[in-house]
Amino acid sequence: MTVRSGASAAATAGIALIALFAFVAIFADLLAPYDYTVQSRTLPNAPISTVAFTDDAGNFSLRPRIFASKMTDALRQTYEADTSRSAKIKLFAKGYDYRLLGFIPVDRHIFGTTDKDIRLNLLGTDALGRDRLSRLITAIRFSLIVCTIGAVLASLLGIMIGLVGGYAGKAVDTMIAGVADAVISLPAMIVILAARVAFPLELPPFTAAMLLIGLFTFTGWAEMTRLTRGLVKRTRTLDYITAARISGLSGARILLRHILPNIARPLLTQTTLILPAFLLAEATLSFLGVGLQEPEPSLGNMLAAASDLTQLREHTFVLLSPAIVIALFVLAVRLTNTGINTNEDREVI
């Protein structure tokens, strides 16, 4: 009993986290306080803004305000709070224009400050003075979109090939199984890197996204095919399939209407399992500089800044924030899956 409730608590936590990620991805522009490309050359590698709950006279106030950051050493890039300049934090402040959900023109952002020149950098700024939180939010959106589309396409392709393999004759099946096993056993990362060379190293963001999706589909389908094949083979000998065949239904109809619905659940689980793998792959490629490239932010190319060890020692948390996001996402998917699998038991298959 305790195991079950523990498992469902894990599933709830996981689903809540995934919902949060989806929310961030959908409302990225609303949640990002600043344009992720706007640089501030006077504030490179600035720390997290100093927030104080005081008014101008120094008394306690519920309305928080922030102080401007002042560079104290240009060479070592150290900062201190400039107490003479401050701005109040404002909810739904005016900022850059964007389209909410892709069609409603808006210029409000969830928070901002009363003074445009004093920026609230909740995660500090990067080496070019860009707001790191805004970049992180945009990166989450990019990664989630690319990985979700990649996972769906890879799954669909894998399921299609697997259905054919599981149901077709021995020769076709053996060939499909051979190719799938070969693709699975090769290290995906090296295959993706090798295939990446076939395209120019520097790509505009949209092309880069399409390419990443293509590469993920190209390497990700095999796992799905293996699973589908196995499930189809186990199902096709069942009585109701024999009944369907005797009543003269076509092979395609039996596959799609009778077999597929009954093996859908484990296939869905597998789809959610490849999602974090793709997220990691995207981060790795962008980290190596062959995925999404500057000035567009991605979880990987933001992490590349952490290779600067002096910076990493000074700003450990903010530099590793993309990694924390990746870890949280992987954790969320794992929690959801363990929870669901424990609850549903294994009798499903």
Partner 1 sequence: MLLLITSAAAFFLLSSSGSDAFTSLRENPQVSAATIEKLRASYGLDRPVIERYGAWLASAVRADLGESFYYQVPVTGLVLVRFWSTALLAFAAIGLACVVAVGLSFANVRYRSRTLSIFIDAVILIFASTPRIVISLFSLAVLVSGAINSVFLLSTISLAVPLVAILLAQFGQSLNDAMHEDFIRTARAKGLSETTIILRHAMRAAINPALTLFGLSLGALLGGSVIVETVIGRPGIGSLTVTAVRNRDIPLLMGVMIVVSLAVWAGNTLAEILQLVNDKRIRALEAE
Quick check: 199 binds partner 1 (CB under 8 A)?
yes
Shortest distance (Å) from residue 324 CB to partner 1: 9
**Among residues 51, 264, 312, 349, the one that binds partner 1 under rule CB under 8 A:** 312
Quick check: 194 binds partner 1 (CB under 8 A)?
yes
Nearer to partner 1 (CB atom), residue 243 or residue 312: 312
Shortest distance (Å) from residue 2 CB to partner 1: 11
Shortest distance (Å) from residue 226 CB to partner 1: 11
268-287 binders of partner 1 (CB under 8 A): 280, 283-284, 287
Nearer to partner 1 (CB atom), residue 22 or residue 194: 194
d(CA 54, CA 60): 4
Nearer to partner 1 (CB atom), residue 153 or residue 330: 330
75-134 binders of partner 1 (CB under 8 A): none
Shortest distance (Å) from residue 41 CB to partner 1: 27
Quick check: 186 binds partner 1 (CB under 8 A)?
yes
Shortest distance (Å) from residue 156 CB to partner 1: 22
Quick check: 313 binds partner 1 (CB under 8 A)?
yes
Which residues, other chains included, contact 314 with Cβ-Cβ below 8 Å and sequence gap of 6+? Answer: 45
Quick check: 309 binds partner 1 (CB under 8 A)?
yes
Residue linked to tokens 């094949």 = 229
Chain residues binding partner 1 by CB under 8 A are 178-179, 182, 184-191, 193-201, 280, 283-284, 287-290, 300, 303, 306-307, 309, 312-313, 320, 323, 326-328, 330-331, 334-335
